[in-house]
């Protein structure tokens, strides 16, 4: 790592230590074009290299803030996945009902279509049907 990169990292670490809220950290992430994981790595380097107890305490606080942000991002991503799964189940249910209506419920026409998509019979579809 060259000297310029090290000074940029220490500069970024200094900016990070001045952030007191998630909003300020998010602004720093946008302004610097980096990810939370980048800042977590930077904090770890800082914890390894800094001996001042006050700065170490600040780094630990910032690390906690970054961990909470990672957890919140993970929960949000998981929520988006669940929403997408439910939307796919709703679409499959709608298509199935349309097929049943179109074929007048003829099992010889409906069952082959279902056999081609066994993965669509899942917990999300069950949740929709049991509502």
Q: What is the pLDDT of residues 101-122, one digit of tens each?
A: 999 999 999 999 999 999 999 9
At residue 131 the predicted structure's pLDDT band, cuts being 50, 70 and 90, is low
CA-CA-CA-CA torsion sign (110, 111, 113, 114): positive
Distance between CA atoms of 83 and 107, rounded to whole angstroms? 31
Sequence-separated (6 or more) residues with CB below 8 Å from residue 114: 96, 120, 121
Distance between CA atoms of 129 and 131, rounded to whole angstroms? 6
Widest CA span in the chain: 77
Sequence-separated (6 or more) residues with CB below 8 Å from residue 56: 47, 50
Task: Give me Rg for the CA atoms of the chain.
Answer: 25
Query: What's the pTM value of the predicted model, to 2 decimals?
Result: 0.57
Q: What is the pLDDT of residues 78-102, one digit of tens each?
A: 899 999 999 999 999 999 999 999 9
Q: What is the total count of domains within the chain?
A: 1
Domain that holds residue 101: 3-129
């Amino acid at each position: 790592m060259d000297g310029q990169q090290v000074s940029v990292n220490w500069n970024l670490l200094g900016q990070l230590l001045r952030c007191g809220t998630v909003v300020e950290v998010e602004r720093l992430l946008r302004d610097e074009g980096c990810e939370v994981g980048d800042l977590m790595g930077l904090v770890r380097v800082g914890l390894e290299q800094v001996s001042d107890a006050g700065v170490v305490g600040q780094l630990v606080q910032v690390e906690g803030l970054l961990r909470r942000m990672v957890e919140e991002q993970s929960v949000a991503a998981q929520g988006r996945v669940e929403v997408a799964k439910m939307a796919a189940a709703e679409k499959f249910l709608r298509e199935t009902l349309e097929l049943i209506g179109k074929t007048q419920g003829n099992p010889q026409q409906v069952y082959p279509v279902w056999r081609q998509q066994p993965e669509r019979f899942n917990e999300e579809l069950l949740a929709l049907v049991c509502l």
